Amino acid sequence: MNATMPIRRRAARGAIPGAAPRRAVLARLMPRGTLGRELLVVAARRRALALKVGIPLILALPLIIGGAPTFWAGMLLTVLVAMMGAVGTAVNLARARQSGLLVRLALVPRPGWRVVGGVVGAGAIVDLLQLLPVIALVAAAGGAAPDQWAALLLAVMAGLLTGSLLGCLVACLAGGVGEVLLDVCVLLAPLLFFGGLFTGVPRLGWGWTVATIDPFGQLGSAFIGALGGTPAFSPATVLLVSTVAIVVVLAAVGLLSRPLLERR
């Protein structure tokens, strides 16, 4: 009985995910800030990472292979990007608050925008990486030109970051992880609607203006263009608006960071 105990213990340790050679590589990486820490945590969860890459692909494949109308395919893919950015960030931050991690991060002598920016940035990077196969598939299937590729890539980044900003806002307001999905939908629905995703972009008036400055309106247009449809906005407009949106969103995340960290 006693002789088997050390063997059992070794076997139990070996069974825990992360005891493989992957650990040896990851264990050498020392996280300096929240960005590195979050990326390291994600990289260590291979199964979750594989699922995160697989799910968008599974959703996108029937749309693209089945030759869905570009308007509807663009709409669905835009909603997917928006939900990934917003829900991912909101859940991550709500969990961090519940576990006490945000309290500890609030006490480090670093600017709040760096601390929260690292968490949000890591989430956006991971989301972008998991969407890359879908973007490549879309662009390849639609025979997109290089400027459409670039516009789509930047619009996806802007969409993810805008979603992340909403996620931060939700994490500030929500009472817990359970509330997050509802709050995200409440905030996202008008943005998606006014971006012209469900009804098309109006040709004139305030509707057109709102859809133009709405990053999700631009993203929807970029998807439609990359899929071979007729986009509402030119790639140049998408590039310009998405760049401005990224800057504005990063600034807004910076402004939200302290209230987010210090809310109890």
Partner 1 sequence: MVSGAVRRYPGGRSVGPIDIDVRAGEVLALMGSNGAGKSTLLRLLATADRTDCGRVSWWGDPSPRRARRQMGYAADEPVEETTLSPRQATYFWCRQWVRDPDVARRLTSETLASLGLGDRADEPVGTLSYGLRRRLALAQALAHQPALALFDEPSAGLDPDGVAVVTAALRARAAAGLTTVVASNDPEFVAGVADRVAMLHQGRCLRVAPLPELLAEVPRRRIVELRVGEAVPGRNGPHAAAGTGPTMAGEAADDRGPGWAQRTLTLAVTERLASLAGVVVLSAADGLVVAELEEEAALAPLVAAADSVGSGVRSLEVRRPDLRECFPALVGRDAGGGQVDAPATLPARGSR
Dig out the tokens for 18 from the structure. Answer: 């992360």
Q: Which residues, other chains included, contact 146 with Cβ-Cβ below 8 Å and sequence gap of 6+?
A: none
Single out the residue of 116, 155, 114, 102 nearest to residue 262, CA to CA: 102
Contact flag: residue 106 with partner 1 (CB under 8 A): yes
Choose which of 10, 11, 18, 69 interacts with partner 1 (CB under 8 A). 18
Q: Please report how close the Cβ of residue 12 comes to partner 1 at its closest, in angstroms.
A: 9
Q: What are the two backbone dihedrals, phi and then psi, of residue 29, each rounded to the nearest 5 degrees?
A: -80, 125
Backbone Cα Rg of the chain: 21
Give whichever of 244 and 255 is closer to partner 1, judged by the CB atom: 255
Single out the residue of 130, 127, 131 nearest to residue 50, CA to CA: 130
Give whichever of 41 and 141 is closer to partner 1, judged by the CB atom: 41
CB atoms within 10 A of CB 81: 29
Q: What are the two backbone dihedrals, phi and then psi, of residue 249, each rounded to the nearest 5 degrees?
A: -65, -45
Single out the residue of 120, 30, 75, 87 nearest to residue 222, CA to CA: 75
Span of 25-33, 79-87, 223-231, 234-242 interacting with partner 1 by CB under 8 A? 25-33
Choose which of 100, 146, 175, 205 interacts with partner 1 (CB under 8 A). 100
Contact flag: residue 27 with partner 1 (CB under 8 A): yes
Site string for partner 1, 127-166 (x = CB under 8 A): ----------------------------------------
Residues that bind partner 1 (CB under 8 A): 13, 16-19, 23, 27, 29-33, 36-37, 40-41, 44-45, 99-101, 103-104, 106-110, 264
